[in-house]
Chain A
């Protein structure tokens, strides 16, 4: 299932700088997009979401941008902290099916 893609398997940034994680999708019928964070041996933890009718949603250090024409979304973390080091999953939600479709994940490493 290639409907949601995260093309960068890993990203490394310095503490205090901005982290930008990217995600592309193919189905214009998705209703919501979500970002989850996952630490080893834990389940995905919800971080932030955006409705398909919005183009930006901000929550503290986390901002998600949605570009519908490009079918692209990004998660910005600023400033990045070492505790942000984790795997980040982009997911798309369809109200018709109720299921989440996940990207492959991007491993973020924030160096002190």
Chain B
């Protein structure tokens, strides 16, 4: 069964550094998402992306965050200047058309900010 893959599985970064989290969504999917889960808290929506542009973003997704689909397969989340509170599990998800199909999640990247 096709999978969403995320790399790296664990990223350790110094506060203030830039970090890029990478995702390869399922190949025929059209809608892409990032979610995060801070330890002990809910999984929360960050951003959705369709047709090469952001379609929805949460309050968390401020100017420090950006997303990109640089080629036909990768979907990246960049955090420009990381803060301690950015430490979390980051999950990428994708779904096909129509967008109300279930979203399929990767196994996540654990981001640790020191």
**A contact set with B: CB distance below 8 Å:** 1, 31-32, 34, 36, 41-46, 49, 89, 93, 95, 97-105
Contacts and interface: CB of A to CB of B under 8 A. Distances in A.
A98 B48 contact: yes
A95 B105 contact: no
Query: Which of A34, A95, A100, A105 has most B Cβ within 10 Å?
Result: A100
Contacts of A102: 42-44
B108 interface: yes
A44 B93 CA distance: 10
Nearest to A35: B102
A41 B107 contact: yes
B75 interface: no
Nearest to A97: B56
- The prevalent SS among residues of A at the interface is loop
Interface residues of B, number: 26
What are the 9 tightest A-B residue pairs by CB atom distance, in nearest-first order?
A: A43-B105, A99-B45, A46-B102, A102-B43, A43-B107, A44-B105, A98-B48, A97-B56, A42-B107
Interface in B83-114: 91, 93, 99-100, 102-108
Nearest to A42: B107
Contacts of A105: 42
A100 B56 contact: no
Contacts of B31: 98
A43 B106 contact: yes
Given A46-B103, A99-B56, 10 more contacts: A36-B105, A42-B108, A43-B91, A44-B43, A98-B31, A100-B33, A100-B45, A102-B44, A103-B42, A104-B41
Contact of B100 (A31, A36, A42, A101): A31
